[in-house]
Amino acid sequence: MIGGNESCTAGPIPMSYLTCLTYILGEWTGVEHIEDYLSYAVYLLWVLFPLAVVFLLPGVLVILFYVSILLLHIYKRKNELKEAYSNDFWDGAKQMLATLWDGHGRIWHGYELHGAENIPEGPGLIVFYHGATPADYVYFMARLLIQRKRYCHVVADHFVFRLPGFKILLDVHGVMHGPKEECVTALKKGCLIAIAPGGVREALFSDEMYTIIWGNRKGFAQVAIDAKVPIIPMFTQNVREGIRTLGGIKIFRSLYERIRLPVVPMYGGFPVKLRTFIGEPIPYEPNITAEELTAKTKAALQALIEKHQKIPGNIFRALMERFQTQKKED
């Protein structure tokens, strides 16, 4: 057996394995003093490794989504004989995925849900601020299902329905395209629906100042008026510090406006503290207009942000909050 410092050649000059490898690479590539280039490459790898990590960590959420999809396919295969005899075929799968996502939220972010008592027993429209990813909403949905056995549908952007493999996940969770008529019908049936009026634009181009980017969108308000349901504002503390985007770079904003796809790079995946706060419901008023209700909802959401979020957001502070033992009061 040859040790690490023993010769790897039978020549007159003994060489270590590393020296031998360097020699072989030099002979193969024809590059003189290749060991200098290798040393420089190792140095660059050492310097750039932390940067690579912060861009790769958001991919964990993508992996979790596809793990969820795989589990749904397995669940369907194992229970397809029961499908003909059950009206709640996917209930077990929903509970399973809720446990998976709630576990991730607890372990990675110490996730907390405050104000769940503000959610009415009947139908309601939850309006929330959109972070760079919808992870905080998924944590909320999972916690709500586990604690209160209540399910919440969500309105998603059209591009989500074109993601490969996502169809079964969207179907099982009743994710909606968002036509007003579909939302009104679901609310009249007693469903709870969540929507982020800022959508992808708010997700990509808001920043640590937590600016609400709704533009002229007021369709959600008209839906609440037509369905005669309350609006419930919701905000997650530190959602911008968990994952951030490079939306401040103008070229990415221009590219998005052209193709309307979320092509803006993201970085982070930091284990910051996440707390979701649910505000008091805005009750249905028969004589209110969509414009007035939109302004009222925006003011209520802004009040939640000002109350529970230190602005500008700070990643280091959010990380420290993650490891504080005392919970923040409502």
Q: Could you read off the pLDDT of 28-78 as tens digits, one per residue? A: 666 666 666 556 566 566 555 565 666 677 788 888 989 999 989 888 877
pLDDT band at residue 4 under the 50/70/90 scheme: very low
pLDDT band at residue 1 under the 50/70/90 scheme: very low
SS3 1: coil
Please say whether the dihedral angle defined by the alpha carbons of residues 27, 32, 33 and 38, taken in this order, is positive or negative: negative
State the residue for tokens 């060489």: 15
Give me the CATH topology for the region 89-321: Glycerol-3-phosphate (1)-acyltransferase (3.40.1130)
Taking the C-alpha atoms of residue 320 and residue 257, their distance in angstroms, rounded to an integer, is 36
Residues 6+ apart with CB under 8 A from 181: none
**pTM for the full model?**
0.81
Give the pLDDT score at 40: 57
Residues 6+ apart with CB under 8 A from 63: none
pLDDT digits (tens, 9 = 90+) for 166-175: 999 999 888 9
Task: Please answer whether residues 294 and 198 qualify as being in contact, where contact means their C-beta atoms are separated by less than 8 angstroms.
Answer: no
The CA-atom distances, in angstroms, between 138 and each of 65, 105, 142 are 10, 9, 6
Give the pLDDT score at 197: 96
Give the pLDDT score at 235: 98
130 tagged catalytic: yes
Instruction: List alpha helices for 89-248, DSSP H.
Output: 91-109, 135-148, 167-172, 180-188, 199-205, 219-227, 239-242
| Segment 3-17 mean pLDDT | 49
Please, is 133 exposed, middle or buried when counting C-beta atoms within 10 Å of its C-beta (0-12, 13-18, 19+)? buried
Indicate if the pLDDT at residue 251 is higher than 60.
Answer: yes
Kind of pairing between the strands at 231-237 and 275-278? antiparallel
Task: Please answer whether residues 142 and 184 qualify as being in contact, where contact means their C-beta atoms are separated by less than 8 angstroms.
Answer: no
Crossing angle of helices 135-148 and 91-109, rounded to 10°: 120
Give the pLDDT score at 211: 96
Taking the C-alpha atoms of residue 67 and residue 96, their distance in angstroms, rounded to an integer, is 12
Which of 191, 194, 211 has the alpha carbon at shortest distance from 128? Answer: 194
Active-site entry in 130, 153, 173, 308: 130
State which amino acid sits at residue 312: P
SS3 67: helix
